[in-house]
Amino acid sequence: MVKIEHKRALLVFRFGDKKFEWPIETRYWRNPILGVAFLALLPVIFSSHPDILSLIATANIYACIAIPLAWQMTGIGRLNFGPQAFVGIGGFTAGLLSIHLGWGPWATFPIVIITGILFGLILSPLTNIAKGLYFSLVTLILPLIFLEITYYFGIFKGETGLFGIAPMISIGNIVAELIIANYFSLIMMVLFLFVVVKVFDSRIGLYSAAINDDEEVANNLGLNIKKWKIICFVVTSVMITLAGWFSAHYFGTFAGVTYLQLPFMLKILMIVMIGGRGDVYGAIYGAYFIVILEKVLTIFGTANYLLFPLILLILLFTLREGIYGIYRKHKYREYYPTIRVRKR
């Protein structure tokens, strides 16, 4: 009989007199590598299930939004309620370029990055001007304004959305195309994960933590908080913009009604909260959890419309630090970036 014990950062397996220990901290890179290897196997395992392949890609796209958002929430010390505005910027930029100029995904890619930087810079002063709840309110409104714009200006094609966007890959074999596109989504997510983990481990991560803990103290200690907040906001915004770019080319269509509405924002915030607030790895668990839960619940028919938010609400109350927090409870050494909404 195998006994499994959870000891702080270790999983201990006992089989008779024998004992095997497995460190489960993510800083031991073998664990993330194993996790990524597992995710890399999924497209192969589900190669004959195109719907599941599509859901895996969707989970990866959601994670691509949630991972940079986790960094942004720490790095600017504010809760962004409108990350989907940048998903929209990326998606519409890619879509419009593809439709009107016939550009493929690799041609639209640099322009999407430039557009992301531009809009990130334009909106970045908000990180210094709007504090606490005001920032959350402003960011909440931004995608809704953008949604109205997509209705009012014919170029965005309203609720129909843009269509005829060049596919992510075109090699003449649809099954292979879907699997390759799936790997693209995984590669993008892993790259985002790698970048953000490295940032958190670096001096910039320390700056982010300092800003998140107390901006004034960080400022008094000599940190140029305005500069670092702008850098954080712009970089993470560009990353989220790329999630929009991927969505547009992956689905071949992009509609504001899908990505700019409140339910989509709630889903992303749920991913962040369920995965673990301010946590990078948690964003991946959260994304896969939400996508799987949403799909599984459809077997209950129309009841799923009630069950889905109900389960999420219960989880929000019971798992205050998200799924990843179950493990974190046993691990006190690392800095844990809590998200605070300050009054000032």
Partner 1 sequence: MKRKALQLVLCLCMIFLITGMIILPGFIRESFAAEPIKIGFIGALSTPYGASNKASLEISIDEINKAGGIMGRPVELITEDWKREIPLAVAAYKKLVMKDKCLIVFTEGTEGSTACAQLGARLYSTYPHLMFSFWSAHESLMDLVGNEYNKYKFMFRVYSNTADSYNPAFGFNDFFKQTVGTKKLALLIEDIGWTEVYRNGRPGVYPTLKEYLEKDGIQVVYEGKTDIKEKMFLPILEKVAASGADTIYWVTGYTDTVTLVKQWDQSPAKDMDLILMSGAVSYAAFWKMTGGRALGVTAMWPEIPIPFTNKSKPFLDELKARGSGLLASTYGAYDGPWILKAAAEEVGDFDVEKLIKAIEKGEFRHSSWIWAFDKRHEPKKGYPYLPNIMGQFQEDGRYIVVLPQKLIEVTNPKAKYVRVKDLRKRAGQ
Q: Which is nearer to partner 1, 173 or 202 (CB)?
A: 173
Q: Which stretch binds partner 1 (CB under 8 A): 35-43, 44-52, 208-216, 231-239?
A: 44-52
Report if residue 304 touches partner 1, rule: CB under 8 A. yes
Contacts of range 127-135, beta carbons closer than 8 Å, 24 or more positions apart? 127/76, 127/78, 127/229, 127/230, 127/232, 127/233, 128/226, 128/229, 128/230, 130/78, 131/78, 131/342, 131/344, 132/78, 132/341, 132/342, 132/343, 132/344, 133/341, 133/343, 135/76, 135/78, 135/79, 135/80
Least distance between partner 1 and beta carbon 259 (Å): 8
Bridge-partner residues for 26, per DSSP?
none
Q: Which is nearer to partner 1, 158 or 325 (CB)?
A: 158
The tokens 């969505």 sit on which residue? 247
Least distance between partner 1 and beta carbon 303 (Å): 10
Q: Which stretch binds partner 1 (CB under 8 A): 106-114, 191-199, 238-246, 249-257?
A: 249-257
* Sign of the alpha-carbon dihedral angle for 134, 137, 140, 146: negative
Report if residue 175 touches partner 1, rule: CB under 8 A. yes
How many alpha carbons fall within 13 Å on the CB side of residue 13?
A: 8
**C-alpha pair distances (Å), 305 with each of 55, 285, 316:** 18, 22, 17
Report if residue 292 touches partner 1, rule: CB under 8 A. no
- Backbone φ and ψ for 291, nearest 5 degrees, come out as -65, -45
Least distance between partner 1 and beta carbon 81 (Å): 20
Report if residue 104 touches partner 1, rule: CB under 8 A. no
Chosen residue from 16, 110, 222, 301 binding partner 1 by CB under 8 A = 301
Q: Which is nearer to partner 1, 202 or 298 (CB)?
A: 298
Q: Which stretch binds partner 1 (CB under 8 A): 79-87, 109-117, 149-157, 235-243?
A: 149-157
Q: Which is nearer to partner 1, 150 or 241 (CB)?
A: 150
Q: Which is nearer to partner 1, 50 or 132 (CB)?
A: 50
Q: Which is nearer to partner 1, 108 or 258 (CB)?
A: 258
Residue 78 host element (H or E):
none
Chosen residue from 190, 255, 274, 284 binding partner 1 by CB under 8 A = 255
Least distance between partner 1 and beta carbon 326 (Å): 28
Report if residue 214 touches partner 1, rule: CB under 8 A. no
**C-alpha pair distances (Å), 256 with each of 152, 159, 239, 287:** 12, 7, 19, 21
**C-alpha pair distances (Å), 214 with each of 57, 123, 211, 223:** 37, 22, 5, 11
Chosen residue from 86, 184, 251, 288 binding partner 1 by CB under 8 A = 251
DSSP code of residue 8:
T
Report if residue 253 touches partner 1, rule: CB under 8 A. yes
**C-alpha pair distances (Å), 232 with each of 70, 126, 197:** 11, 12, 14
Report if residue 47 touches partner 1, rule: CB under 8 A. no
- For 297, the token pair is 């619940």
Report if residue 154 touches partner 1, rule: CB under 8 A. yes
Site of interaction with partner 1 (CB under 8 A): 48-55, 58, 61, 150-152, 154, 157-161, 163-165, 167, 173-175, 177-178, 251-253, 255, 257-258, 294-295, 298, 301-302, 304-305
